[in-house]
A and B are shown apart, each in its own frame.
Chain A
Amino acid sequence: MARVRPDSRSDRIQVLVAEQAARRGARAGVVDVCAAAVAALPVGGAGLSAMSRTAASHPLCSTDDISAQLEELQLTLGEGPCVDAFVRGSAVLTPDLLTSELQEHWAVFADAALEAGARAVFALPLQMGAIIPGVLDLYADVPTVLDAEQLADALAFADLATLLLLDTRIVETGTTGGGTAPERGFEDLGAYRAEIDQASGILTVQLGVGIEEAFVRLRAHAYVQGLRLADVAADVVAHRLRLSPDAGPDRTDEET
């Protein structure tokens, strides 16, 4: 039986996450990313925390008790791979917590995590430039090294979780007005669109908000108007479209 083989890693990861969501009978969310990551990678559990520089960080989901403990521990202690991944903006891969330098680096967390039953811990920032809304944590109960393929998969799970997490913010802000839900997944980034990121930067000034909020507003606008994100971004960059903090969007080409 021939099965369609998705040709890119991100497509394949999206399918895995969608399958988990279907099993739950719900829209895909970060909880499905955790479940799919555990099924696909040599890890015992996964957890995901929302992170912020300005507000309190908090755990969002976990696949088992150990994962839940690891999330709580790091946010309580303010140390651990998850915290480092957030601060540094890069993946923190710890194949074995029982190494002396790590015990020194995370004086309290290392022992507590071992106590909880974790031996290897991998923290992957959910990241889009300066936007880091959270961190995906994976653990294994034996010393574990992720090979290049597994690491690439883990990074792809984190990428998908980034968008899913930001999507929930769109729904929370009610910007979609109960209309069509955001489409899933990435637009084809094979041709990476610098305009999307430039437009997010522009909107931080126009709206007087942080970069994460700016990106969420950009996406929300695209959804509400039924436009492609790349097209809306191009309009913002070309000054054909301005968003204002209170009122709706102004199309500058209609004003003149």
Chain B
Amino acid sequence: MGELPFKLSRPLTLGIELELQIVNTRDYNLTRGASDLLGALAKSGNPGDIKPEITESMIEMSSSVHTGHATLLAELRAMRAAIASAARKLNVGIAGGGAHPFQKWNDRRIYDTGRFRHLARLYGYLAKQFTVFGQHIHVGCADGDEAVYLTHMFSRYVPHFIALSASSPFHQGEDTSFDSSRLSAVNAFPLSGTMPLARSWREFESYFSKMRGFGIVQSMKDFYWDIRPKPEYGTIEIRVCDTPLSVDRAAALAAYAQSLARYLRLERPRAVCDDLYLIYNTNRFQACRYGLDADLIDPFDGSRAKLCQDLVATFPRVAAHAEDLGCRPLVQGLLMGAQGSGNDARRLRARFKETQSYADVVRWQCEQWMQPP
């Protein structure tokens, strides 16, 4: 057994985490509400796994492990109902979206636990600037080698997930011109970026023990990579998504990740190559900046396409796998319909154009996420 044992899990099982915004219902700024909300939820029985995050204006909900999209969505909806009901009792709003449109980063309060206080001391203002809200998708892998392969292969599709989930066009009271401004906040951290080009779990373990030897990291938690293997769960974790405006969209993104993972692990369409990450950051920037209209370069053959065309081109490859997983119509709608229906960033911009008020935008975000009781 190596340095970093990879827990066995059923391949292609699925789980997600969503970081959510807590706002007041007067001016819709972020508010200090996590501990009150968790207290109220604890009293209302067992709504599932809901945890504090680094600031008091954020909570994180985590699904349990699912084999398919349908049960995942059902669980997310039940958790949403519990959270929304507690929030209504406390008169706070819960919203999706990758960033709050107008909060001032320096107003944030660090949630009072040892780990969060440590991070706040270590990272200084970065910790408070990191008040952004993401969706993490876990996909189960058969073993460590498969996790390494999938992590590398998924990097080709990272722009898809960025563009489809993008919901942080506004930041600190300005239109950033980005569809996802959230990922720029991640870039500032020293351990952000991508996994090094290890080809097997054994190679990865030796990298990890070197880093641990330097005293930089203690566990996988300390890497803020876009995609990282999560040996203690036996999964890979895709971390580039903004929290979508609804749990339904979050579940649809998870279904796409699952279909893609099935396609990659069963068909093994490409081998990991040395040039895999050459244009990674360019593609990633394009997706953050232009969303569905980004210009993508394929790392394997150098071909160029608009991101939304690439989505359409990807669907035939994953369609059969989505079919087998029972989520074909959903994935089809997500990929083929992207150009027409747009992403959440586009919807948020339309909302702002109509109302000219960020407070109104956030109120609408709360309505989208909480749904009528």
Q: Do A and B bind each other?
A: no
Interface residues of A (CB under 8 A from B): none
